[in-house]
Homo-oligomer: A and B are copies of this chain.
Amino acid sequence: MKFIEKLISISRKNNSLLCVGLDTDREKIPKFLLKDHDPVLSFNQKIIESTCDLVCAYKPNIAFYEAYGSKGWEALKKTCEAVPKEIPIIIDAKRGDIGNTARMYAKAIFEDLGADAVTVNPYMGEDAISPFLEYENKCAFILCLTSNKSAQDFQLFLIDGKPLYQIVAEKVITWNEKGNCGLVVGATYPEQLKKIREIAKSLPILIPGIGAQSGEIEPTVKFGTDERGERAIINSSRGIIYASQKDDFAEAARDQALKLKDRINLYRQM
């Protein structure tokens, strides 16, 4: 099954555009979990169990696992195994390197971890992305306009009157022959998100930046979804997974996820 089909299928079943970011930091999870053999894994398993009927995807950020070396990698792999098969896993890795190296990253993420999708960086151009696109049923989300403040350092530069992020979006459309490309656009740039959706009508767009990074929900949903109110993947990490430090943390995460899913749906055109 193609990634986009898997995404739309679960998105309809769960009536959700919400993606929960599993940026799990050992130092921020409830203290009582630290006695477990693998506290990060225990935490993630509980979060997944309590939210899996509310989401369209999970997005673990690989940096949070690599920071703990090989043990972290094991925790990430087992976290991926804990996600129900019908829900896509997007590894937020922002990789990008020359061909023979990109193939190794693709192998790590799609084969070793068994994930469905990955975020990648466009700076090095097409040949750094194409090894990911050889996996027809996976998806590469290419950074287009990121949610951070310094996105402005380069991504808004005008080239012959056109901003760099727009040129990236247009290039990605030409790379999308197998229908397995997506874009990453921060919720913190709603006007630009609107422009990008106009250009990339059918691409899935992964949208970080609501919540802790203060992107607003209404324009994110209105501008980020396609004409059927789909194909936007709206991520929240810290606001959901760290909703409580007590032993009700999983239910508290569920409450926050449910609230956010419903608020997102308020603005969907369906």
Residues of A within 8 A of B (CB): 23, 25, 61, 63-64, 66-74, 77, 92, 94-102, 104-105, 107-108, 111-113, 121-128, 143, 146-155, 157-159, 164, 167-168, 171, 213
Contacts of A143 in B (CB 8 A): 123-124
Known: A63-B101, A122-B154, A152-B125. A68 touches B112 (CB 8 A): yes
Interface of A is mostly: helix
Determine the distance from Cα of A32 to Cα of B149 in the docked complex, in whole angstroms: 52
A-B contact pairs, 14 of them (CB 8 A): A63-B104, A63-B108, A66-B112, A68-B108, A68-B112, A69-B74, A69-B77, A70-B71, A73-B73, A124-B146, A124-B150, A157-B157, A158-B159, A159-B159
Determine the distance from Cα of A63 to Cα of B94 in the docked complex, in whole angstroms: 13
Determine the distance from Cα of A70 to Cα of B112 in the docked complex, in whole angstroms: 9
Determine the distance from Cα of A66 to Cα of B100 in the docked complex, in whole angstroms: 14
Contacts of A157 in B (CB 8 A): 157, 159, 164, 167
| Shortest 5 CB-CB contacts between residues of A and residues of B | A125-B150, A125-B153, A63-B104, A70-B70, A66-B108
Q: Is A74 touching B66 in the complex (CB atoms < 8 A)?
A: no
In the assembled complex, how far is the CB of residue A175 from the closest CB belonging to chain B, in whole angstroms? 10
In the assembled complex, how far is the CB of residue A91 from the closest CB belonging to chain B, in whole angstroms? 11
Copies held by the complex: 2
Determine the distance from Cα of A242 to Cα of B266 in the docked complex, in whole angstroms: 59
In the assembled complex, how far is the CB of residue A160 from the closest CB belonging to chain B, in whole angstroms? 8
Q: Is B124 touching A151 in the complex (CB atoms < 8 A)?
A: yes
Determine the distance from Cα of A77 to Cα of B70 in the docked complex, in whole angstroms: 9
Contacts of A167 in B (CB 8 A): 154, 157
In the assembled complex, how far is the CB of residue A29 from the closest CB belonging to chain B, in whole angstroms? 14
In the assembled complex, how far is the CB of residue A24 from the closest CB belonging to chain B, in whole angstroms? 11
**A71, A104, A147, A155 — most chain B CB neighbours (10 Å):** A104
Known: A123-B154, A152-B125, A171-B153. A69 touches B159 (CB 8 A): no
**A113, A147, A150, A164 — most chain B CB neighbours (10 Å):** A150
Q: Is B64 touching A101 in the complex (CB atoms < 8 A)?
A: yes
Q: Is A61 touching B101 in the complex (CB atoms < 8 A)?
A: yes
Contacts of A147 in B (CB 8 A): 98
Determine the distance from Cα of A127 to Cα of B171 in the docked complex, in whole angstroms: 25
For A149, the closest partner residue in chain B by CB is B127
Determine the distance from Cα of A155 to Cα of B123 in the docked complex, in whole angstroms: 7
Q: Is A123 touching B122 in the complex (CB atoms < 8 A)?
A: yes
Determine the distance from Cα of A125 to Cα of B165 in the docked complex, in whole angstroms: 13
Q: Is B61 touching A70 in the complex (CB atoms < 8 A)?
A: no
Known: A67-B105, A94-B121, A97-B61. A127 touches B150 (CB 8 A): yes
